[in-house]
Chain A
Amino acid sequence: NAGVTQTPKFQVLKTGQSMTLQCAQDMNHNSMYWYRQDPGMGLRLIYYSASEGTTDKGEVPNGYNVSRLNKREFSLRLESAAPSQTSVYFCASSPRGDRDGYTFGSGTRLTVV
């Protein structure tokens, strides 16, 4: 099983450019999440989707948008990238909520110059 697949693995953007981070899971999970990881900050939730057709803001949603395309896919879009968005981005999924723990993707390392 592939689990949670994120693309791309690495990306360099110029300030003001846009891009979409893709995430897909093959475990038939209902819930999906986008986190960013910064040194000394741990993991911070950007957006989540409790189930297909719903999305909600997390702790740090500004500058991002999301789309739950279907049950498998949950994309994260940066409309106008800023250097403050340089980070490692992780997608995660869970069957329903967090009681069974999350399955994480391997991450996208994004640098905005």
Chain B
Amino acid sequence: AQSVAQPEDQVNVAEGNPLTVKCTYSVSGNPYLFWYVQYPNRGLQFLLKYITGDNLVKGSYGFEAEFNKSQTSFHLKKPSALVSDSALYFCAVRDSSGGSYIPTFGRGTSLIVHP
């Protein structure tokens, strides 16, 4: 079975400060991991993925995420937050050894960047 948790419903950060949005997962085999962002009244947009290789993954809009196998985490980070980064962020995971290729999405974390 595969599962994903986003332990924070909301993250608040001041503009210019670094931000972290947390994600932990559980799979039987190796994980495929994804981050998506949803702006108000819009669909989700793909940010980045980890399939294999380098543990630090760089994605769109200056975001990056670090895969940590020992801690089963895939936290989303950005060195300097912008007010325009305020949105809902979703982590997703799929067990690469599972029979289904459908990922499980987390419940989302609302990021609020204050001016």
Give the number of chain B interface residues (Cβ < 8 Å). 21
A2 within 8 A of B: no
A64 within 8 A of B: no
Within 8 Å by CB of A101, from B42, B43, B49, lies: B49
A53 within 8 A of B: no
Cα(A90)–Cα(B32), bound, Å: 22
Taking the closest CB of chain A, its distance from the CB of B20, in whole angstroms, is 19
- Chain A interface size band reads 20 to 34
Knowing A41-B107, A43-B90, A58-B102, the reply to whether A107 touches B43 (Cβ < 8 A) is yes
A-B contacts besides A92-B43, A104-B43, A104-B44, 20 pairs, CB < 8 Å: A4-B43, A40-B107, A41-B107, A42-B90, A42-B105, A42-B107, A43-B90, A43-B105, A58-B102, A90-B43, A90-B44, A92-B44, A98-B103, A99-B51, A101-B46, A102-B46, A104-B36, A104-B45, A106-B43, A107-B43
Chain B, range 83-115, C-beta contacts under 8 Å to A: 90, 92, 94, 101-103, 105-108
The residue in A33, A90, A99, A105 that gathers the most chain B C-beta atoms within 10 A of its C-beta is: A99
Decide if B43 touches A98 in the complex (CB within 8 Å). Answer: no
Q: Which residue of B lies closest to A6 (CB)?
A: B43
Decide if B44 touches A98 in the complex (CB within 8 Å). Answer: no
B34 within 8 A of A: yes
